[in-house]
Amino acid sequence: MPAQIIETNKTPLKRVDVDPITLDIIENALRNARQEMDVTLFRTAMSPGIREQHDAFPMIANPEGKMVVGQFGSFLHGFKAGYHGTLEEGDVIFINDPYSCNGAVSHCNDWLLIKPIFRDGRLIAWGCMFGHMTDIGGKVPGSLPTDARQIFEEGIALPPTKIYKKGELQEEILAILLNNTRVPEWNKSDFHAIIASCTMAERRCIELSERFGDDVFFSAMEELLERNKRAMSHLINTMVSEEKQSFEDYLCDDGMGMGPYKMTCAMWREGEKVIFDFEGTDPQSIGSVNFLLNEEMFKMFVGTYMISAFDPQILFNDGFYDLMEVRIPEGTLLKPKRPAALSCRTHALGRIFDLIGALLGQGAPDLLCAAGFSDSPHLMCSGHDRHGEWYQLFQIGFGGVPGRPLGDGPDGHSMWPGFTNVPNEFIESYFPLRIERYETIADTGGAGFNRGGNGIRTAYRFLETGDISIHDDRWLTYPWGVSGGEPGGRGTKIMVRNDGSREILPAKCDNIHVEEGDLLYYDTWGGGGWGDPLTRPAEKVALDVDRGLVTVEGAKRYGVVLNDDVSVNEAATTALREKMAADRPEIQLFNRGGTIEELKSRCKEETGLEPPKTPVFLNWFRKGTVQAAE
C-alpha cells in the first residue's frame, strides 16, 4: 500500500481559475519561501559543509509531491514509492538510506527531512530539505570510505522513520543518530536547522493559503507546474531529435585500483516524449563509486540543464516529468543492488552532467558545451590537536567550468547551483591548517575559441598531526573539448613532506597520515575548450597571459607567439597558425585527448600513477548470491 495521508478534513482541493496577478504573487512568494528556507538553514547550521558551502537542497511541493520550487528536484517520488505507513499533521519523516527511497538521497551522509504541510486538517503542500552531514560514523572520518564494499561500512542508515510524531520529537531516535557520529554537536545543530527550514516552508505555505484560499493556492501550484510542462514541451520538440543520439564517458577509477568505468546513455524523442536509455553502462562496482540514480532526479538534472541553456526564465519544477522516460538497467553502476556501497557516488553524479551536455548538444552543436562539471572534489582532514580536541573538516573543491558557446568558462568555479567555497579565513580559524596558495592553475583550461576555465591549486600546510582523505576524478581521463576545442587539464594531488620528499597521491585515498609541516598541493582539473583555438583573437590570448591565466608557452596552443612585452608577434603568429592548421587532423566534435587504451598506456609517464586495472564486477543472480567475475 502507498503512504496513507490522514486528513481530518476530507473535502478535496478544487481546481479554480487564478488570475495572472495572483499567480505572479504566489509564484514569487514561493520563490522567496525557498530562499528563506536556505537562509534559515545556513544561519543555524554548524558544519562548514552546510553553513559555508551550502551543501543542502530545499523544496516545496504540491499535495501530490511534485516540486513547485526548489533546487535539484523532488525527493518525494522515491520516498512515496517506498513508504507504506501513515502521515498526519505534525509528523516529520527522516531518511538517509538511499535504497529505501529509490535514490531520493544517494548516499547516507545526506539527511533528508520531509514535512507534510496541513491546514485545517487538510494536506496542502510538502516542505523538504536535505543537508550533507560531515560524519555519520563508518570506517573512516567523513563516512566516505573509498574501499567500502557494502553500505554497512559507510555509517548509520535509516529507512523512512518518523522523527517527529504529531509534533513531538522522538528523542531516542535522534540520540541513536548522534551516537553514531564523530561530530554529534554539528549533526545535532544541522538536524535542527533542517527542521527549522522545513518549518519555514510550512509557515509560508499556510500564510499563502490563508490569504488566497486553499483552492487558489492549490490551483496556482498546478498552473506553475503546467506552465513549466508547456515550456519544456516546446524545448524538447525544438532541441531533441527523433534520431537516436548516444554518448559515453568514464569514471577514471574506483579508489581500489580498478577502472575506468563506462557510463553510456542514448537519447531520442518519440512524439512529445524524450527517452534516455542507459543500456551499456558498466555493471556495479565492488567499490563505493556506485550511484543509485533516481529517475525523477535525473529528469530534473536534464530539465535544469535545458532551462539554464535555452530559457533561464522558466521556473524549475517537476511539471515536465511526464515528458521524459528514463531507463536504467538494474545491477549497473547507476542502479546498483543493495548492499552495494554508495558513499563516493559524487564522481558519477558529476559525470552525469557532462553526459547530459554531450547528449543535448549533439543535436545543436552551436549550443554544445565542453566537459567540466566532471566531479565534486572532496578533502577530509581530521585528528586530535595538541590540546586533545577532535577536529574534522569536510570541504568540497571546485574545478574549471567548461568553455561555452557564449564565452570562456569561469576559472575555478563551482558548477553546483548555489554552492560557495569555504573561506580560507574560516578554515585557518577553526582547523590546524594554513592555506599557503589558493590560485588558478595556468593552462589547465582547454584551449579553444572560448577557453575552458582553469582548475584551482590549494596548498594546505598541516599544523598538527592527523589523517586525510582525498576524493577526486579526472586524473586519467580529460574533460573533453568540443568543436575543435582541446581537453582541459587533469587533476593531481602532491604531498610534500616536512623532510622535503614528494609523493604523488591517488585521486581517491583514505587514511593518509600527515605530520606537522607537511604540505598538500590539491590541484583540480580544468574545463574543456570550445571551438577552434586557432581562431581565438590573439589579443585575447595575450590578455590571458598578462593576467596569469595562460603561460607564454601555453599561448602557442592557440598558435599565438608573444614578444617579451607580452604583445602579439603578428608575423610569427600568422606563420605558426598556418602551420598548425595544415598539420592537424580533421576537427572532430569531441576531443577526449585519446582513447582509453592510449590514456592508460601513457598514464604512468604523464601522471606518475599506475594505470587502473580492468574492473572486477559483481554478477547478481536471481537467488541473491554474488560472484566476482572479470
For residue range 367-416, what is the model confidence (pLDDT) as tens digits? Answer: 799 998 878 899 999 999 999 999 999 999 988 999 999 999 999 887 66
Is the per-residue pLDDT at 472 higher than 50?
yes
The answer as to whether 264 is a domain residue is no
Pick from 252, 300, 273: which is nearest to 103 by CA? Answer: 300
Identify residue 85 by its one-letter amino acid code. G
The answer as to whether 23 is a domain residue is yes
Cell numbers describing residue 150:
557494502
Contact at 8 Å (CB) between 279 and 330? no
Give the residue-averaged pLDDT of 172-183. Answer: 98
The answer as to whether 296 is a domain residue is no
For the chain, the distance separating the N- and C-terminal CA atoms, rounded to the nearest angstrom, is 41
Same domain membership, residue 485 and residue 575: no
Same domain membership, residue 483 and residue 418: yes
Same domain membership, residue 207 and residue 169: yes
Is the per-residue pLDDT at 262 higher than 60?
yes
Say how many domains are in the chain: 3
Confidence of residue 17 (pLDDT cuts 50, 70, 90): very high
Question: What length is written for the chain?
Answer: 630
Same domain membership, residue 128 and residue 59: yes
* Confidence (pLDDT) at 71: 79
What pTM does this model have?
A: 0.93
Cα(209)–Cα(124) distance, rounded to whole angstroms? Answer: 8
Same domain membership, residue 185 and residue 155: yes
Domain encompassing residue 157? 4-230
Integer CA distances (angstroms), 294 to 81, 197, 474, 572, in order: 12, 24, 24, 54
- CA 354 to chain CA centroid, Å, is 11
Give the residue-averaged pLDDT of 40-64. Answer: 94
Same domain membership, residue 551 and residue 417: no
Q: How many CA atoms lie within 13 A of 440 on its CB side?
A: 24
Cα(494)–Cα(45) distance, rounded to whole angstroms? Answer: 33
Cα(112)–Cα(57) distance, rounded to whole angstroms? Answer: 9
Contact at 8 Å (CB) between 224 and 34? no
The answer as to whether 116 is a domain residue is yes
* Confidence (pLDDT) at 376: 86
Give the residue-averaged pLDDT of 242-249. Answer: 94
Is the per-residue pLDDT at 622 higher than 50?
no
The helix, strand and coil proportions of the chain, stated in percent and rounded to the nearest 5, come to 30, 25, 45
Confidence of residue 1 (pLDDT cuts 50, 70, 90): low
Pick from 320, 311, 490, 466: which is nearest to 399 by CA? Answer: 490
Give the residue-averaged pLDDT of 309-315. Answer: 72
Integer CA distances (angstroms), 189 to 137, 150, 445, in order: 17, 29, 39
- Looking at 207, 230, 253, the residue that finishes a domain is 230
| Cβ neighbours of residue 191 closer than 8 Å, sequence gap 6 or more | 111, 113, 174, 177
Give the residue-averaged pLDDT of 70-90. Answer: 86
* Confidence (pLDDT) at 303: 87
Degrees to nearest 5, angle at CA 272 with 234 and 310: 30
Same domain membership, residue 513 and residue 429: yes
Confidence of residue 628 (pLDDT cuts 50, 70, 90): very low
Give the residue-averaged pLDDT of 599-622. Answer: 83
Same domain membership, residue 442 and residue 425: yes
| Cβ neighbours of residue 539 closer than 8 Å, sequence gap 6 or more | 568
Same domain membership, residue 89 and residue 190: yes
| Cβ neighbours of residue 13 closer than 8 Å, sequence gap 6 or more | 63, 122, 124, 214, 215, 218
Same domain membership, residue 523 and residue 541: no
Same domain membership, residue 523 and residue 578: no
The answer as to whether 568 is a domain residue is yes
- Looking at 230, 246, 278, the residue that finishes a domain is 230
Confidence of residue 363 (pLDDT cuts 50, 70, 90): confident
* Confidence (pLDDT) at 415: 66
The answer as to whether 343 is a domain residue is no
Q: Of 75-89, 101-115, 265-279, which range is least confident?
A: 75-89
Is the per-residue pLDDT at 209 higher than 60?
yes
Is the per-residue pLDDT at 629 higher than 60?
no
The answer as to whether 265 is a domain residue is no
Confidence of residue 81 (pLDDT cuts 50, 70, 90): confident
Output phi, psi for 200, to 5 deg. Answer: -65, -45
- Looking at 488, 503, 532, the residue that finishes a domain is 532
Same domain membership, residue 544 and residue 445: no
The answer as to whether 603 is a domain residue is no
Rg of the chain, C-alpha, whole Å: 25
Q: What is the mean pLDDT of the chain?
A: 93
* Confidence (pLDDT) at 180: 97
Is the per-residue pLDDT at 319 higher than 80?
yes
